[in-house]
Amino acid sequence: MEAFLVSITTVGIAEIGDRTQLLSLLLAVHYRKPWPILAGVLLATLANHTLAGMIGRWFGKFMTPGLLDAAVGASMLAMALWSLRPDRLDGDAGVRGKGAFLATLMAFFIAEIGDKTQLATVALAAGYSSLAAVIAGTTAGMLAANAPVVFTGKAFAERLPVRALHYGATVLFMVLGALFIARALMWWS
């Protein structure tokens, strides 16, 4: 249960103001079809985070528990710094001429590659034994952050205190990083 709760919270907060959330906003404004867009977000996130989780699990096999906790903690601290930098979405995301579902599926999967939420999924999968709980949590966090944007579009996005949310994500990542590093230190002492 801890893996799911940490995963949903981490990704849900980290996604606020992220480029994939901005992509959801663009798709919502362009297509005005929330259900196909959310379906595309769901499937793209499941595919992307399953791959990320498998990579994290693979890396986790080669590390001792203390080293693994230290690596996850360090990656969370790095993501804390990354969260301070607001994302922008450049270009038109290449969605012209495609249906809402297919455009979302393709664009969202590609935009998520190398994103901080994907890297968080790698780190969380390496740090927790339940891969299913991590993937379910990160996917639920992604949907929780994107659903309001998809359904309310631009009106919602303009009212978000994005800067405050970025600071909140930074604090969350710092706390998680410190907890994992503390666990690593306990392994080593």
Question: How is 51-80 classified by DSSP, letter by letter?
Answer: HHHHHHHHHHHTS-HHHHHHHHHHHHHHHH
DSSP, res 8:
H
Give the pair of three-digit tokens for residue 185: 């230190």
Q: 0.85 cut: is pTM over it?
A: no
Which stretches of the chain are DSSP H helices? Answer: 2-14, 19-31, 34-61, 65-83, 100-112, 116-127, 131-159, 162-188
Domain ranges of the chain: 2-188
pLDDT of 5 above 80: yes
d(CA 108, CA 99): 14
State how far the Cα of 124 lies from the Cα of 130, in Å rounded to an integer.
10
| Alpha carbons 167 and 181: distance in angstroms, whole number | 21
Chain segment 29-64, per-residue pLDDT in tens: 888 889 999 999 999 999 999 999 999 999 888 888
Per-residue pLDDT of 109-133, as tens digits, reads: 998 888 889 989 999 999 899 999 9
pLDDT given at position 93:
46
Say if residue 70's pLDDT is above 70: yes
- The pLDDT tens digits for 176-187 are 889 889 988 998
